[in-house]
């Protein structure tokens, strides 16, 4: 299934995206006499996605996508991990050496912006060199810890696209400033579609693209990652407990430097597309 959270006629709920139409979970409940949660995060936590897919067969999607607005699948994931320098091209762009183990960091929920919304660059006295990075992310579906890689598919709910921003000039001052360089408001988004894991037959064959001002800026295949998605997921479950809805973004081939007036997109065929415009935050005096 291709799942989304959408706004239509003043309501916000989860739905199944089918081409240019959406089947709301509330409509599915009404048609099938079911009681599935209407919120995406609650739906993931309920562990009922297979039942949703089964009961949705034969139910027509009635809401036009053109009359709806796709939004963040959910606003508050328990945690978001991201991976740095996972593609050689990104490491080379930053004149860095790829770490032997995953170089991971976390994103605060205050850094999120809505899909299709705006990335607000920091005021110029804070940063003048920001890049945007299109990435593939894993969405966890079960509470888990210490999961061996041979079993990791059992705890993955699905996959989504992400945009991750970095204030490169801050990071260049000192690698210990990584978390700050990644944590400005509007420096992360995910979705708007989450594709359930059963729809992605070979995650390693996916191609990740960053589109800058309508042109492909960078592209690479997942199989060229130093640490591939399933390995990353298993590795991080040894660090901490993961919960349903937690996100692990797996890194980008190369980030595009962005300026006010630009547009940027993360695009992964078979998973989704996530777009944003670029502005600059102005200090209120």
Fill in the DSSP letter of residue 242.
Answer: B
* H or E, element range at 18: strand 11-18
For residue 204, CA distances in Å to 94, 221, 250, 271 come to 24, 7, 12, 13
- What's the average model confidence in pLDDT over 190-200? 97
* Residue ending a domain, choose from 71, 104, 122: 71
Asked if the structure places residue 285 within a domain, the reply is: no
More reliable by pLDDT, 87 or 148: 148
Total domains present in the chain: 2
Q: Does 85 reside within a domain? A: yes
145 in the same domain as 36: no
272 part of a folded domain: yes
**Long-range contacts, 241-244 (Cβ 8 Å, 24+):** 241/143, 241/144, 241/145, 242/79, 242/140, 242/143, 242/144, 242/145, 242/155, 243/78, 243/79, 243/140, 243/143, 244/41, 244/44, 244/45, 244/47, 244/140, 244/141, 244/142, 244/143, 244/157
Query: Is 171 found in the same domain as 87?
Result: yes
Of the pLDDT bands very low, low, confident and very high (cuts 50, 70, 90), residue 282 is confident
Digit-coded pLDDT (tens) for 6-55: 999 999 999 999 999 999 999 999 999 999 999 999 999 999 999 999 99
Tell me which H or E stretch contains 17. strand 11-18
- Collapse the DSSP code of 97 into the 3-class scheme (helix H, G, I; strand E, B; otherwise coil) and give the result: coil
Domain that holds residue 58: 2-71
Domain boundary pick from 17, 50, 71: 71
User: With pLDDT > 70 as the criterion, what percentage of the chain qualifies?
Assistant: 98
How far apart CA 216 and CA 57 sit, in angstroms, is 36
Are 213 and 132 in the same domain?
A: yes
124 and 202 share one domain: yes
Among 39, 71, 103, the domain boundary falls at: 71
Residue 197 has pLDDT above 90, yes or no: yes
Does residue 183 sit in the same domain as residue 53? no
Question: What per-residue confidence (pLDDT) applies to 99?
Answer: 75
156 and 236 assigned to the same domain: yes
9 in any annotated domain: yes
pLDDT, one tens digit per residue, over 201-258 is 999 999 999 999 999 999 999 999 989 999 999 999 999 999 999 999 999 988 999 9
The DSSP code sequence of 122-150 is: PPTTT-S-EEEEEEEEEEE-S-BSS--GG
Does 270 reside within a domain?
yes
- Residue 85 pLDDT: 77
CATH number of the CATH domain containing 184: 3.90.850.10
Q: Looking at the structure, do residues 207 and 95 belong to the same domain, yes or no?
A: yes
Same domain? For 207 and 143 the reply is yes
Residues 226 and 258 in one domain: yes
Residue found under tokens 């739906």: 43
Q: Are residues 51 and 85 in the same domain?
A: no
| The pLDDT value given to residue 90 | 67
Partners of residue 208 on adjacent β-strands: 220, 268
Residues 84 and 168 in one domain: yes
């Amino acid at each position: 299934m291709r799942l989304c959270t959408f706004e239509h006629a003043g309501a916000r709920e989860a739905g199944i995206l089918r081409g240019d139409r959406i089947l709301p979970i509330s409509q599915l409940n009404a048609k099938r006499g079911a009681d599935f949660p209407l919120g995406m995060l609650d739906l993931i936590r309920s562990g009922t996605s297979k039942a949703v897919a089964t009961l949705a067969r034969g139910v027509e999607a009635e809401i036009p996508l053109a009359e709806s607005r796709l939004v963040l699948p959910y606003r508050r994931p328990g945690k978001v991990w991201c991976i740095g320098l996972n593609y050689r091209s990104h490491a080379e762009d930053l004149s860095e050496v790829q770490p032997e183990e995953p170089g991971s960091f976390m994103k605060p929920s205050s850094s999120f912006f809505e899909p299709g919304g705006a990335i607000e660059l920091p005021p110029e006295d804070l940063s003048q060199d920001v890049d945007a990075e299109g990435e593939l992310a894993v969405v966890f579906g079960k509470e888990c810890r210490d999961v061996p890689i041979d079993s990791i598919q059992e705890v993955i709910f699905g996959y989504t696209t992400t945009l991750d921003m970095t204030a490169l000039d801050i990071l260049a001052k000192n690698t210990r400033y990584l978390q700050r360089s990644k944590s400005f408001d509007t420096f992360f988004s995910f979705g708007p579609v989450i594709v359930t894991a059963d729809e992605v037959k070979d995650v390693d064959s996916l191609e990740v693209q960053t589109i800058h001002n309508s042109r492909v800026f960078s592209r690479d295949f997942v199989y060229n990652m130093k640490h591939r998605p399933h390995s990353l997921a298993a590795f991080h479950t040894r660090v901490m407990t993961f919960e349903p809805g937690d996100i692990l973004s797996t890194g980008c081939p190369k980030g595009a430097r962005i300026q006010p007036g630009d547009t940027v997109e993360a695009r992964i065929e078979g998973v989704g597309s996530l777009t944003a415009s670029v502005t600059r935050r102005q200090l209120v005096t």
